[in-house]
Amino acid sequence: MNDFEKKEILEYIEGAAVGDINLMEVCGTHTMSIAKAGIKSLLPGNIRLLSGPGCPVCVTVQEEIDAFLELSMRPGIIIATYGDMIRVPGSRPGDNLARRRALGADVRIVYSPVDAVEIAAASPEKQVVFLGAGFETTAPGTAAAIKTAAMRSLSNFSVFSMLKLVEPSLRVLIADPDFNVQGFIVPGHVAVIIGEDGFRFLTEEYRIPSVITGFEPEDIWLGIYGLIRQIAEGRAVLKNEYSRLVRPHGNPLALKMMSEVFEPCNARWRGLGLIRESGLAIRSGYAEFDARRRFDMVFEEKESPALCRCGDVIKGQLEPEKCPMFGGRCTPEDPVGPCMVSGEGACAAAYKYRRV
Amino acid sequence: MQEVITLDYGSGGKKTSSLIDEIILPVLGNPALSQLGDGAVVDGGKSLVFSTDSFVVDPYFFPGGDIGKLSVCGTVNDVAMAGGRPRYLSLSLIIEEGLPADDLRRIIDSVGAAAKQAGVEVVTGDTKVVEHGKGDGIFINTSGIGTLVCPGLTPAAIRAGDKVLVSGTVGDHGTAVMLARDPMLAGGEIRSDCAPLNELAQKLYSLGSDLRVLRDPTRGGAATTLCEFAESAGLTIELDEGSIPVDPAVRGACDMLGLDPMYCANEGKLLAVVSSEKAQEALDILRCDELGEEASIIGEVTEAHGARVIMKTSFGGSRILTKLAGAQLPRIC
């Protein structure tokens, strides 16, 4: 896309008679890319971009965070995790994995679940627990790690699955009486796995215009343009602007791997509450790799910090900057809520790449 | 809850500032220290520049350098950024029991080669060995002393209209080390930029008072250093994203790891703020040197938005750049 095309699109967007509209990007990587490229600074005031429940760390509930913090201090445990989890705050102020590590917990940052299997193979005297957060994007890799550990008969590797599915959460979001979104920027990475099929319900059942896009600013710009055209023309179709990677039926191999190891289960989401069949639990055939069972982890349902409004941010009902704690009491170095921690969090993106 | 020091306090961002401001300066502050420059200007008969730095890099060998080379370059560069011609170094080694002697030899060879390249001498030192498990192979502290040849380099000298220059690609060292830590990612072509910058700085000193400030953006990266400039000067720095040199391999690795090259450490790059009249001359000086071939004017100083750094993105938007908050965290997907 050259500057001329970019400008042509902007002129169209500025001239489109669509009134005040909200578009939602569901994926945290989109959120970050939008903030980094300064896309919001280019859009006219009547078009707002909101972030949805697509940041894995952000939707994780407090009791699960507290549970892995507690687990990290048990003797002989190595916690292997994606970096995002390190600063996610526990219930007690100042508590997080970084602090637990400073107090002696063995916490390792990994880039892939398979790295955690390697740590287990190299440390037979320790129990390695991988913190499996994420959506359909990370689930196949986590499944592969469990299968690898099974094949190598590793008895000291397990996964604490906090994995979630995108579709059930979007359905809950849309059913909310305060839901006010006129178009979806569909998460491209998730669509690579579950395909166009996984998102057809948005247009076919709910008639909300939706575009699957990639993650370059140009991809997103084109996606926004596509949504506004649909809105202006009164259409609602699922458009695939990411066809270089997204197939109609997704990636069958990854889907098979996922369903061999995991089964849907009821799960609690920050901001959205309990959603039926929205989580992924490890099947009984792989029970020995399930950290929840192996360590008898207990979960007391807990409220998020009283003033934290991450739940509203996740639902797209509050822009990060409008949270009373944004940038004051809640900053990336001292976060109150998870949206301020993760590189994918709406608040972290808004803080790091603030609007002029 | 009892306060403890986490790794974030060593990342060079806001937490590091708070540690210095709340714990160190209230007790030890004095006119030389409280400037918080890369080095301090002190009176020793004539004006001297004095700086110290500790090196704890993991792994201690990485593509493009090692802890020995780094420990010389880091301190030499700090002295040079403060306007000094570095002369003498101290070298303190804290060695963990079990370090292979050949590794130590290799590290000391690097110290020697880097000192020779920088034209400094190691004139005093110390060696301690700690028990196994109480160090990470080897830690090094160096202090450097030099004579002040270019006085008055400070962010307070920055004026509206000045230009901001960088001597080359940003983020190379931080990315190279990050990749070297992971055996699955190691072995790529990304190398640390670790190099002594004193000769390059010396050439820029000829600009006199048109050279406002120099800084080598190590921890916290170029973004954090530029934020410090803007804060100290009370002015806006407007950056043009498209003119900031980033090695394509570094950009790719950072995209994959969820990092931002503007926040990754550099060990052989300098940021200079220069008057607009002399900006082109400064660019020419940098580009004529091997260490500044890819130098670029990346932005200018204005009064438009207060004490802030604004990034005009390649895509055409704009946003505010803030200091690094804690260590950069690799992301989930």
Q: Which residues are registered as beta bridge partners of A48?
A: A22
Instruction: Identify whether residues B90 and B160 lie together within a single domain.
Output: no
CB-nearest partner of A332 from B257, B320, B326:
B326
pTM value is 0.83
In a shared domain, residues B143 and B263 = no
Residue where a domain stops, chosen among B148, B167, B194: B148
In a domain, B27, yes or no: no
The answer to whether residue B333 scores a pLDDT higher than 60 is no
Disruptive mutation site among B310, B311, B324, B329 for chain A (greatest number of A CBs within 10 Å): B329
B307 three-class SS? coil
Interface residue A328 vs chain B (CB under 8 A) = no
Q: Please indicate, yes or no, if residue B250 is contained in any of the structural domains.
A: yes
Secondary structure of residue A345 in the 3-state scheme = coil
Beta strands B318-321 and B309-312 are antiparallel
pLDDT single digits (tens) A294-325: 998 888 887 766 678 888 888 888 889 999 99
pLDDT value, residue B295: 98
Shared-domain flag, residues B161 and B296: yes
Q: Specify the residue for token string 């003797």.
A: A75
Is B29 a member of any domain? Answer: no
Most confident of A88-92, A345-349, B176-180, B291-295: B291-295
β-strands B84-96, B138-148: how paired?
A: antiparallel
CB contact under 8 A, A94 and B5: no
Q: Span B262-291, mean pLDDT?
A: 97
**Among chain A residues, CA nearest to B183:** A115
pLDDT digits (tens, 9 = 90+) for B308-318: 999 999 999 99
A139 — phi, psi (to 5°)?
-60, -45
Domain of residue B61, CATH code: 3.30.1330.10
List, for residues B201-239, the tens digit of each pLDDT value. Answer: 999 999 999 999 999 999 999 999 999 999 999 999 999
Model confidence at B329, pLDDT cuts 50, 70, 90, reads: low
Number of folded domains that form chain B: 2
B127 and B214 housed in the same domain:
no
Residues B186 and B250 in one domain: yes
Domain boundary among B148, B167, B201: B148
- The answer to whether the beta carbons of residues B86 and B152 sit under 8 Å apart is no
What is the structure's pLDDT at B332? 53
More confident residue, B328 or A18: A18
Q: Which residue has the higher pLDDT, B43 or A241?
A: A241
Evaluate whether residue B15 is within a structural domain.
no
Give the residue-averaged pLDDT of A262-283: 95
Q: Which residue of A has its CA nearest to B306?
A: A356
Q: What is the mean pLDDT of residues A7-28?
A: 94
pLDDT tens string A204-223: 999 999 999 999 999 999 99
Residue B164, domain CATH: 3.90.650.10
Q: How are beta strands B236-240 and A127-132 bridged, if at all?
A: unpaired
Higher pLDDT, A91 or A171: A171
Q: Which helix (H) or strand (E) holds B33?
A: helix B31-34
Q: Once rounded to an integer, what is the mean pLDDT over residues B30-36?
A: 83
Whether the CB-CB separation of B269 and B170 falls below 8 Å is answered with yes
Q: What residue in B sits closest to A221 (Cα-Cα)?
A: B315
Q: Is residue B5 part of a domain?
A: no
Interface with chain A: mutation pick from B4, B315, B324, highest number of A CBs within 10 Å: B315
* Range with the poorest average pLDDT among A293-297, B30-34, B124-128: B30-34
**Is the predicted pLDDT of residue A136 greater than 90, yes or no?**
yes
B241 or B325: which carries more pLDDT confidence? B241
- For an interface test with A, which of B2, B5, B6 has the most A Cβ atoms less than 10 Å from its Cβ? B6
The arithmetic mean of pLDDT across residues A273-281, rounded, is 96
Beta-carbon separation of A103 and B4 below 8 A:
yes
User: Which pLDDT belongs to residue B40?
Assistant: 81
Closest residue in B to A35 (Cα–Cα): B319
- pLDDT per position as a tens digit, B46-84: 899 999 999 999 899 999 999 999 999 999 999 999 999
- pLDDT above 90: residue B44: no
**Among residues of chain A, what percentage have pLDDT more than 90?**
73
Q: Do B136 and B201 lie in a common domain?
A: no
The pLDDT of residue A10 is 93
Residue B187, burial from CB neighbour count under 10 angstroms (0-12, 13-18, 19+): exposed
Q: Residues of B with CB below 8 A from A2's CB?
A: none
pLDDT band at A288 (very low <50, low <70, confident <90, very high): very high
Name the phi and psi angles at B102, rounded to 5.
-65, -35
Same domain, B71 and B41: yes
B291 lies in the same domain as B306: yes
B143/B159 same-domain check: no
Q: Dump pLDDT digits (tens) for A83-101.
A: 888 888 898 888 999 899 9
B14-28, B103-117, B260-274: which has the minimum mean pLDDT? B14-28
Residue B11 lies in a domain: no
Test the B interface: residue of A353, A354, A355 with most B CBs within 10 Å: A353
User: Is residue A273 pLDDT above 60, yes or no?
Assistant: yes
Give me the domain span that covers residue B77.
35-148
In this prediction, residues B168-182 reach a mean pLDDT of 91
Residue A92 neighbours by CB distance under 10 Å: 11
Per-residue confidence (pLDDT) for residue A87, from 0 to 100: 84
Share of chain B above pLDDT 90, in %: 69
Do B254 and B311 fall within a single domain?
yes
Q: Is B321 exposed, middle or buried (0-12, 13-18, 19+ CB in 10 A)?
A: buried
Interface membership of A327 toward B (CB under 8 Å): no
**What is residue A305's predicted lDDT score, i.e. its pLDDT?**
67
> Taking CA atoms, what residue in B is nearest to A82?
B332
> Could you tell me which residues come within 8 angstroms of residue B100 by beta carbon, excluding any fewer than 6 positions away?
none
| Residue B270 domain flag | yes
Given B119, B148, B177, the domain boundary residue is: B148
A137 touches chain B (CB under 8 A): yes
Comparing CA positions, the residue from B160, B145, B167 lying closest to residue B215 is B167
The pair of structure tokens assigned to A12 is 């169209």
pLDDT at A219: 94
> What is the ipTM metric for this complex?
0.74
C-beta separation of B200 from B270 below 8 A: yes
B313 at interface of A, judged by CB pairs closer than 8 A: yes
CA B286 to each of CA B117, B223, B296, B297, B314: distance values in angstroms, whole numbers, following the listed order: 18, 20, 9, 11, 24
Mean pLDDT of chain A, nearest integer: 93
Q: Which domains does chain A have, with CATH numbers?
A: 3-54+166-240 (3.40.50.11750), 57-165+251-294 (3.40.50.11740)
> What confidence category does residue B10 fall into, taking pLDDT thresholds of 50, 70 and 90?
confident
Do B164 and B259 fall within a single domain?
yes
State the pLDDT confidence band at B188, using cuts at 50, 70 and 90: low
Confidence band, pLDDT 50/70/90 cuts, at residue B271: very high
A/B interface, count of CB pairs below 8 Å: 126
- Residues of chain A with pLDDT > 70, as a percent, come to 99
Residue B24 lies in a domain: no
pLDDT at residue number B6: 79
Specify the pLDDT at position B27. Answer: 81
pLDDT of B1 above 70: no
Question: Do B122 and B259 have their domain in common?
Answer: no
Helix (H, G, I), strand (E, B) or coil at B142: strand
Residue B145 has pLDDT above 60, yes or no: yes
Report the pLDDT averaged over residues A127-152.
Answer: 97
Decide if pLDDT at B31 tops 90.
Answer: no
